[in-house]
């Protein structure tokens, strides 16, 4: 028994050493891993989301290929195999993305796909990934419908879905302003805005049923002008204004609503406001409740991984990484964790313990082969991995959907700089439904945390 | 419900003033040159980006904040003076006499090129230069507060409309312009320099698109895609008003602005479709728009 355990320990040590020592001859033989990376390079989502995601992906891949990431990601590439990115523009709608996806798999011959910021694109591409049997990591889209309405073998999402953004916003708001009686909303008229409003208003109805909705404004994506919406919201005298606006739309709304006194009348809740704090500066009023769609940005833990992401991103842009950059890190590091776990398992089982000859040859053979897609999928399901945003657990969607805690805070202008104070962390189970329960049903049933 | 009518009218007129400045350039180019200029949206975006960039530089350089308004207008003039002649002389003049659909496709190609060029020059990050928006203070109208800048834009739209109406109806240049509108060949036969009329018209149209962008820039976040957004709305306005009609552009902008504001106040879920519902109704009743210019019958 003791001998068996010792054998296992030895095997693990040998294989781990081999993975980490990937600068050697074995790594040089390793075949590059081609990753299709899909993000917005044009259109309104390119500036705030798509391009920062691309910059982050390139910075992370460069750092991983150089083996300069901190542990546990300090092996080169994926288990010694260098990474190559094939970047594709996500703009153009779901139909175009399905064609682009097929091109990536059939013509470009990518090994994995990481991508998709738009919820619509995620919903369209997931069944195609399943049909084409290609491991695909959704890195940023928020809709809970991906794994609540379907079950996938080849699709994973390494960031939590959007339900927690709305639920935590409602919890934070009622902790900060328990006397809230009325609220209105301004959200973009597409899946993200509609879901955000629906989840937030449902959570508010559960947490404080007597609170009244005054107005729900749904301007179209990229509208840019909100004069009438601001007049309508001013006319309601709401205690609170909820908004999931992002990018230029959020900035335009803030610039237009501030001078008209909307924020003097109403407490503002910005579900996705954190990445714009430094840009908006004095245009964002003190006391605004802001989130970052997870423990990203100012809410990220102080860790070597977080510092690494900040330094490699700033080296390319001179700016702090925003939450899409953190989401990309989750996607790539999650896949790396799964790949290396699968390879480690394969290597360990390939070592012919008890024989004196052929150990090196057998390991080299196994190493050169790398982990198969099926092995990576098996390792990915239910995986728990470290990231710059803290620990992610693939706990929903039969082990394909990540969960994590989230955080909210309040803005405060200090020496001309917008800071976030009164940060409150929410554990994963308190803001996300348990496995097998749809988000909206869970919210409406009282948002009970799993015991 | 009726209590919201004043706010609807004010919001509607403010939105209409911005949209009129853009749409009037589009309708002017169509009226004279019979070109449905899809690139108008890109010229709007180029005006917005240029104005935001130079106004930002002006303000960060510590110059008098009020001077930023001159920078906005100057940016629009420069964009119009550069892009107008380049597009008209460099490309469109080779296409005259071809089918209108071909010209639409040509200007669509220009639109795509300019969109990418804008991204190449200005990047994809949104530009935010809000200082000129708040510089003039606020006005209280009833229970609501409005930035004086938005009220001033109504004045700018009125001035643009009045100047154009005066030039077209009361000057020699306007008479030549109207002659070209009615019959290009006959105008050329009587000695009017049609090529110059086309060049000036397209340049003025480009300038108006850029002016719309430049004056909108301080009120919003200038980001990729704003051109496409505006050209769709400008098309709806000129179609409602009647292609080529100055008065039609004014009325179309007013209808679109007020209908959108009414939808936002009364039925926010209809706001997305409201403009197109109105456009469909107008086209059913008057297929050429409310103020379509009667065409001279040619023998």
Residue A367: predicted pLDDT: 67
Q: What is the ipTM of this complex?
A: 0.89
Rounded CA separation B288/B299 (Å): 22
Alpha carbons A227 and B14: distance in angstroms, whole number: 8
Chain A positions in Cβ-Cβ contact with residue B120 (cut-off 8 Å) = none
Chain segment B174-212, per-residue pLDDT in tens: 999 999 988 888 999 999 999 999 999 999 999 999 999
Q: B interface mutation test: which of A231, A253, A254 has the most B CBs within 10 A? A: A231
The pLDDT of residue A114 is above 50: yes
Average pLDDT over residues A187-191: 89
Best mutation site among B4, B268, B274 for testing chain A: the one with the most A CBs within 10 Å?
B268
At residue A362 the predicted structure's pLDDT band, cuts being 50, 70 and 90, is low
Smallest CA–CA distance, residue B56 to chain A, in Å, is 13
With 0-12 / 13-18 / 19 or more C-beta atoms within 10 angstroms meaning exposed / middle / buried, residue A275 is buried
- List pLDDT tens digits, range B217-246: 999 989 888 888 889 999 999 999 998 889
Q: Say yes or no: B271 contacts chain A, CB-CB below 8 A.
A: yes
Q: Cα separations (Å) of B89 from A60, A196, B199, B272?
A: 47, 50, 7, 38
Q: Following DSSP, what letter does each residue of B9-42 receive, concatenated?
A: HHHHHHHHHHHHHHHHHHHHHHHHH----TTHHH
Residues of B in contact with A219 (CB under 8 A): 264, 271
The string of pLDDT tens digits covering residues B135-168 is 999 999 888 899 999 999 999 999 999 999 999 9
Give the model's pLDDT for residue A322. Answer: 87
Q: Which residue of B has its CA nearest to A91?
A: B225
How near does any CA of chain B get to the CA of A407, in Å? 26
| Whether the predicted pLDDT of A37 surpasses 70 | yes
pLDDT digits (tens, 9 = 90+) for A238-293: 999 999 998 889 989 999 999 899 999 999 999 998 878 877 888 889 999 999 99
């Amino acid at each position: 028994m003791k001998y068996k355990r010792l054998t296992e320990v030895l095997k693990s040590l040998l294989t781990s050493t081999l993975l980490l020592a990937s600068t050697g001859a074995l790594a040089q033989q390793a075949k590059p891993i081609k990753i299709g990376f899909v993000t917005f390079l044009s259109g309104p989502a390119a500036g705030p989301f798509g391009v920062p995601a691309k910059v982050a992906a390139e910075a992370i891949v460069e750092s991983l290929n150089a083996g300069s990431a901190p542990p546990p990601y300090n092996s080169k590439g994926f288990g010694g195999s260098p990474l190559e990115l094939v970047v594709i523009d996500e703009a153009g709608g779901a139909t175009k993305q399905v064609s682009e996806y097929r091109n990536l798999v059939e013509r470009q011959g990518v090994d994995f796909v990481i991508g998709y910021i738009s919820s619509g694109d995620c919903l369209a591409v997931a069944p195609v990934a399943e049909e084409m049997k290609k491991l695909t990591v959704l890195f940023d889209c928020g809709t809970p419908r991906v794994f609540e309405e379907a079950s996938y073998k080849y699709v994973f999402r390494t960031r939590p879905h959007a339900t927690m953004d709305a639920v935590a916003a409602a919890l934070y708001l009622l902790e900060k302003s328990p006397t809230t009686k009325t609220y209105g909303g301004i959200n973009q008229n597409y899946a993200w805005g509609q879901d955000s409003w629906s989840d937030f208003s449902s959570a508010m109805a559960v947490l404080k049923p007597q609170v009244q909705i005054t107005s729900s404004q749904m301007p179209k994506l990229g509208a840019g002008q909100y004069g009438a919406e601001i007049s309508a919201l001013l006319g309601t005298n709401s205690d609170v204004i909820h908004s999931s606006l992002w990018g230029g739309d959020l900035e335009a709304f803030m610039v237009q609503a501030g001078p008209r006194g909307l924020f003097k009348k109403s407490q503002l809740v910005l579900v996705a406001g954190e990445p714009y704090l430094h840009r908006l500066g004095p245009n964002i009023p003190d006391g605004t409740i802001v989130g970052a769609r997870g423990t990203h940005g100012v809410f990220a833990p102080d860790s070597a991984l977080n510092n690494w992401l900040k330094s490699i991103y700033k080296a390319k842009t001179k700016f702090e990484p925003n939450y899409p950059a953190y989401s990309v890190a989750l996607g790539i590091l999650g896949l790396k964790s799964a790949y290396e776990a699968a390879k480690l398992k394969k290597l360990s089982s390939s070592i012919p313990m008890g024989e004196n000859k052929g150990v090196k040859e057998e390991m080299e053979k196994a190493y050169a082969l790398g982990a198969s897609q099926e092995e990576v999928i098996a390792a990915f399901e239910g995986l728990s991995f470290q990231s710059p945003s803290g620990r992610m657990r693939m706990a929903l969607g039969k082990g394909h959907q990540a969960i994590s805690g989230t955080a909210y805070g309040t803005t405060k202008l200090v020496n001309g700089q917008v800071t976030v104070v009164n940060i409150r962390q929410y554990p994963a189970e308190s803001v996300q439904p348990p496995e097998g329960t749809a988000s909206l049903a869970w919210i409406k049933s009282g948002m009970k945390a799993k015991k | 419900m009726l209590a919201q009518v004043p706010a609807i009218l004010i919001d509607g007129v403010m939105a209409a003033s911005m949209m009129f400045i853009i749409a009037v350039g589009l309708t002017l180019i169509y009226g004279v040159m019979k070109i449905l200029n899809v690139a108008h949206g890109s010229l709007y975006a180029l005006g917005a980006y240029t104005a935001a960039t130079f106004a930002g530089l002006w303000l960060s350089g510590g110059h008098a904040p009020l001077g930023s308004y001159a920078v906005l207008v100057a940016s629009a003039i420069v964009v119009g003076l550069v892009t107008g002649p380049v597009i008209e002389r460099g490309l469109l003049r080779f296409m005259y006499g071809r089918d209108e659909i071909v010209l639409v496709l040509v200007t669509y190609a220009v639109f795509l090129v300019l969109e990418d060029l804008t991204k190449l020059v200005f990047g994809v990050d949104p530009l935010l230069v809000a200082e000129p928006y708040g510089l003039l203070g606020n006005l209280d109208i009833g229970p609501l507060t409005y930035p004086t800048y938005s009220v001033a834009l109504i004045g700018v739209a009125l001035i643009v409309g009045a100047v154009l109406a005066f030039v077209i109806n009361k000057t020699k240049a306007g008479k030549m312009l109207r002659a070209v509108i009615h019959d290009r060949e006959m105008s050329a036969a009587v000695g009017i320099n049609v090529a110059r009329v086309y060049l000036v018209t397209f340049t003025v149209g480009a300038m108006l698109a850029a002016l719309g962008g430049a004056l909108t820039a301080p009120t919003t976040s200038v980001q990729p895609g704003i051109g496409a957004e505006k050209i769709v709305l400008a098309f709806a306005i000129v179609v409602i008003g009647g292609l080529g009609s100055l008065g039609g552009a004014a009325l179309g902008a007013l209808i679109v602005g007020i209908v959108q504001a009414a939808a936002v106040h009364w039925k926010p879920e209809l706001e997305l479709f409201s403009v197109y519902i109105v456009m469909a109704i107008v086209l059913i009743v008057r297929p050429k728009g409310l103020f379509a210019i009667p065409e001279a019958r040619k023998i």
